[in-house]
Structure 1
């Protein structure tokens, strides 16, 4: 590539007004991800060929690479004004619009692209993503299916198909598809398999989850040249600690970590929050702002710019609270801007290896989770999950107001529907069969999941009306209503996380099985912390029997709830948690 660039530069010395040479030079720089050089070359090309649609498209691609989707979208629109019959430009514009949150417009441009190029599997996949973000899961699954039909090796489309069918509780065909994805992780280094969705696939192993994370890291960040190693410091007056997240807003993260961030000892730590979240004007957002010494909005900054900002600010420790979840900014860590980089809380698992070394230096875990296969150095705390001192509060209403029976036993699982597997649901139906008059209270995730779970209940011989679906409501009301449950049943291989601590806050015991992977052991971690190991069952048959026994023995359930009430507070002590975390950070730096 460098020899091609040298050849083009020599030709340009002889023909400096040749737009084609400037254009080809820009393409070379774009392939090398040298955005500034590419932009300069394309602008020179446009100067000598004004209004050229392909040059305008490439300037849009450069702007997108630099993270400026607003500018990118404008270039793509200008290109389409010159020639509306460009499938690739409709596709690129749709991608930018999706990133800007303009999903309805994105869908229209994906459809326009497909009218011009109906065999484009990647466009069908991205159309599925836009439908998903609009909540149109049935159309999303159909789009992914078409992408897979056109290109059976398009593994990320297959992953999206699996994950959205899990959200819909439509389990047909998943076992075979998951086996194909697991094989791809083992044998196809180019397969793009989103790690978060992989965590929730039944049967995936700890080692496979680590391998999947490493593949993703290499594919997405392998091109990044880290910054020079930061100069060693004499012991600073204060440790410069940075948190980065796309969830500094009204989000479950706010009820876990805000108080911990606010509690940092300002004599020892200077705290900067790097936010990749749009301002939702919520009290939760304002609480994060108040908890920070410095607040940096990075929504319109590239990973390079964020990493440079951190290096210039002298950040000692960077804690990523998002990981491989929505709107990930892990590319920042690939630049190695801080002295130490920690993965915590947002993504329940290892972030994998990049060029043979861990992408993150450390991960916050506890004794229950340390059996997981990790790339990172473990930072052991008494419990992996922090919590604010209090949850938001509201009037809980009555059972009847939530559609629950006044007298019957209420089992609950208010986890998202993608966590419910056929085997777990079968266990729940066995429990309901053995406890007459009981109901199962589930989150109303979407209309397809509601319908499919009702149908599956009927197949198992359970009346559909014994499944009660809790509609989505403001978080304070959602947390308050949980006190009407008698017992929470967990899911696997992806446990309740924040939902588990919500239940424990309300005094509702949760029973679980400690699985083999990180996300399958989080509930066990919380139960160990509150001193309820008896709620961790050996297997799912044992869990079924434990649930049945507690439903039949009101005295035993009351005793368990009393024990929880007396011991749960240890989970909601952010000041103590913060001191333990700070001690670990000091040790890590030393």
Structure 2
């Protein structure tokens, strides 16, 4: 997004507003613009600098109000349109931004700011070919415009042309070395460059950190709170359907609220169903979008946080620009960016011993807090959380058994398909004749995206005829992995969320582990699953590992069918374990001398949502009551809350089975009961219910009979002599006989 441009020759009162704006004195600029309005009346240029000043103060809501009014008064003023498009985009109103910017470039095709902001908008809308063209038009108007180079670089990155993107972005930095947004973009794009070392990232991060470091405003004194939970703030632009949410939600759902209270602080004006889940699982949810910098600082400080955690790093609308002001006594970074912030204001970084082995401390300005096994915990995030129990998400046999050839694949972003990645893939395909490569990518159905990729594949020695390109679509989330035998990881920037997606779906991932955090993310997940043999130190090992898997399809199939169980029993899926570790670390940082007293009683057997703690006994009784009353919509909502903490829990498929059965779908009910039995072994009422339902449908029960005999020494005939259990029997709820005055129930441990 381009900053406001110079205006034509202006009357002195307006010119002073412009001068103050360009000096970064936004509040003074606004006051001067207001004064000019009193002297000169309403003019387009005065409105322009009023809106620009509000934007400089990060008060995008007020900036939007001013620009809306201005364009009603001066509807053909193209500079107002260009600025309005930028403001509307910041406020998440893409339709209005597009309308204003397209009108701007139609009326004034020679105005560079319209093209720059239009390109930024198209990039945000993932229309990368249009974004690239808009940036090129801006550069044709001014070949020394740094923001146009930065936009051009972003569009190139998203279409996989990483080498050209880095050249363009370095040119932007050369032209405007003090532009913080451009420097942040460079820090992100450097992750994709195979020549980048951890020290390169650190050096650039430190330079960026120095630019962000202002004179810190004094913090108000915090009251002592003996025995009170730690107040943890999560500051992010990504508290919505975003790759980070797969790791944020399981942590939130498992934090013990008697030890840690969570305040979710959202910088994004956009929200969705994932935002709603985060809001339910936080103690407080505070929207910050549209606030001025001073308002934001005051709002966050008013939360009286003990710890503030950055979840964005050098990406997008970064929390770091605000945390530079010191918003909490302890500030740390986690999750969003795989490298150092370079900032003195950020004291700690959460990591683990695989991503950051001994000796990597020199890569950071922060002190590393290393989790013993993994620094992320993952839960699958499908549109309907309860559908994870559906047959379409179950692991299937490796597709080579039906295809007669092995399919390698990748579902990462196009920007990660670097020259090094293509060289690795080409070597694997050359080693495995007859194999194919499947790529699931955004916008790959657009010729402007597909053609350059296929050309790069051919240049790397990969025959495009061996490549299948699949457009990414939310309806196909996870399902593409049913058509991939082996995932080939990217380098130097590895998969993260996508690696977990693949492993959860049973697909092995071969990765090249490098010498910096961003080159080792997949390695931490593979090691946690005991798949160390797929973590490779060099190209030869990478090719050997992939070829070995491909050369034994039966062995590959056996591995595939066991990976999900490994995953669900591994630290990667242990939200409770990671939460307990983090609680202990936070306590040591906030209260190193134990002055707050002993930790409160633990709250583990239950869930926190909608502002309150709900014990498991209460939840089970509520589910039983809703189920018996036929209130299935409310039952599903409660099960979704349960799934936020436990991505797989026997209670969920059991209750879903009951709802399917009562709806007349007996086959689906049996399928879900089998899933429930698999998640809760040795629960005899479930076996008895399954046996009865199978009898109703005339199913062969030989496998069930063998299992009962092996596991319990129990015959199917003996099981059949037991009464068919009720919902209360299965849930362990003891129904107390009715008394003259009342009827009550008690819950036995579920």
Normalising by the smaller structure, the TM-score range is: 0.7 to 0.9
Deviates more, 1:304-313 or 1:95-104: 95-104
- 1:467 CA displacement: 1.6
Within a 5 Å distance, the mapping from 1:337-416 to structure 2 comes to 337-353=327-343, 358-370=344-356, 371=360, 373-389=363-379, 392=382, 393=388, 394-396=390-392, 406-416=403-413
Deviates more, 1:294-303 or 1:339-348: 294-303
1:216-253 CA distances to partner (integer Å, 9 max, x unpaired)?
Answer: 4444x345643337558465522111112222222222
- Per the alignment, residue 285 of structure 1 pairs with 275
- Per the alignment, residue 573 of structure 1 pairs with 574
Deviates more, 1:299-308 or 1:25-34: 25-34
- 1:460 CA displacement: 5.5
Deviates more, 1:419-428 or 1:578-587: 419-428
- Per the alignment, residue 57 of structure 1 pairs with 48
1:381-424 CA distances to partner (integer Å, 9 max, x unpaired)?
Answer: 13454224555424438999x99963321211110111001231
Deviates more, 1:67-76 or 1:438-447: 67-76
- Per the alignment, residue 434 of structure 1 pairs with 431
- 1:47 CA displacement: 2.2
Within a 5 Å distance, the mapping from 1:402-481 to structure 2 comes to 406-446=403-443, 447=446, 448-459=448-459, 462-474=462-474, 477-481=476-480
TM-score computed with the length of structure 1 as normaliser: 0.84
- 1:181 CA displacement: 4.9
Distance 1:404 1:555 in 2: 8
TM-score computed with the length of structure 2 as normaliser: 0.67
Instruction: State whether structure 2 residue 318 is matched by structure 1 residue 334.
Output: no
- 1:336 CA displacement: 0.7
Deviates more, 1:343-352 or 1:126-135: 126-135
- 1:292 CA displacement: 0.8
- Per the alignment, residue 203 of structure 2 pairs with 211
Distance 2:203 2:142 in 1: 24
Distance 2:333 2:299 in 1: 20
1:279-326 CA distances to partner (integer Å, 9 max, x unpaired)?
Answer: 5441x2222112111111222323322221222221110112122222
Deviates more, 1:538-547 or 1:498-507: 538-547
Alignment CA distance shift 1:236-1:157 (3 Å): farther
1:177-214 CA distances to partner (integer Å, 9 max, x unpaired)?
Answer: 63575688799743633122332233222222233334
Distance 1:122 1:377 in 2: 42
Q: Quick check: 1:104–1:134 contact (8 Å CA) kept in 2?
A: no
1:7-40 CA distances to partner (integer Å, 9 max, x unpaired)?
Answer: xxxxxxxxxxxx9776566556645655555434
- 1:506 CA displacement: 1.8
1:352-406 CA distances to partner (integer Å, 9 max, x unpaired)?
Answer: 23xxxx2411111111232271121111113454224555424438999x99963
DSSP-derived class of the 1:242 partner: strand
Deviates more, 1:19-28 or 1:339-348: 19-28
Instruction: State whether structure 2 residue 126 is matched by structure 1 residue 126.
Output: no
Distance 2:85 2:208 in 1: 23
Alignment CA distance shift 1:55-1:159 (3 Å): closer
- Per the alignment, residue 93 of structure 1 pairs with 84
Name structure 1 gaps, 5 residues minimum.
1-18
Alignment CA distance shift 1:341-1:153 (3 Å): farther
Distance 1:548 1:562 in 2: 19
Q: Quick check: 1:27–1:38 contact (8 Å CA) kept in 2?
A: yes
DSSP-derived class of the 1:314 partner: coil
1:320-357 CA distances to partner (integer Å, 9 max, x unpaired)?
Answer: 2122222323222122111111111012211123xxxx
Q: Quick check: 1:107–1:130 contact (8 Å CA) kept in 2?
A: yes
Distance 2:201 2:71 in 1: 42
Distance 2:367 2:461 in 1: 49
- 1:551 CA displacement: 0.5
Distance 1:41 1:431 in 2: 65
Deviates more, 1:306-315 or 1:75-84: 75-84
Distance 1:391 1:528 in 2: 22
Q: Quick check: 1:159–1:197 contact (8 Å CA) kept in 2?
A: no
- 1:117 CA displacement: 7.1
- 1:270 CA displacement: 1.5
- 1:534 CA displacement: 1.5
Q: Quick check: 1:227–1:335 contact (8 Å CA) kept in 2?
A: no
- Per the alignment, residue 488 of structure 1 pairs with 487
Alignment CA distance shift 1:525-1:25 (3 Å): same
How well do the aligned residues superpose, as a CA RMSD in angstroms? 3.5
Distance 1:404 1:68 in 2: 58
Instruction: State whether structure 2 residue 190 is matched by structure 1 residue 190.
Output: no
Alignment CA distance shift 1:281-1:119 (3 Å): closer
Match of 1:270 among 261, 270, 273: 261
Distance 2:284 2:500 in 1: 29
Deviates more, 1:391-400 or 1:358-367: 391-400
- Per the alignment, residue 9 of structure 1 pairs with none
DSSP-derived class of the 2:372 partner: coil
Q: Quick check: 1:168–1:418 contact (8 Å CA) kept in 2?
A: yes
DSSP-derived class of the 1:396 partner: helix
Alignment CA distance shift 1:421-1:51 (3 Å): same
- Per the alignment, residue 11 of structure 1 pairs with none
Alignment CA distance shift 1:222-1:89 (3 Å): farther
Alignment CA distance shift 1:83-1:289 (3 Å): closer
- Per the alignment, residue 158 of structure 1 pairs with 149
- Per the alignment, residue 260 of structure 1 pairs with 251
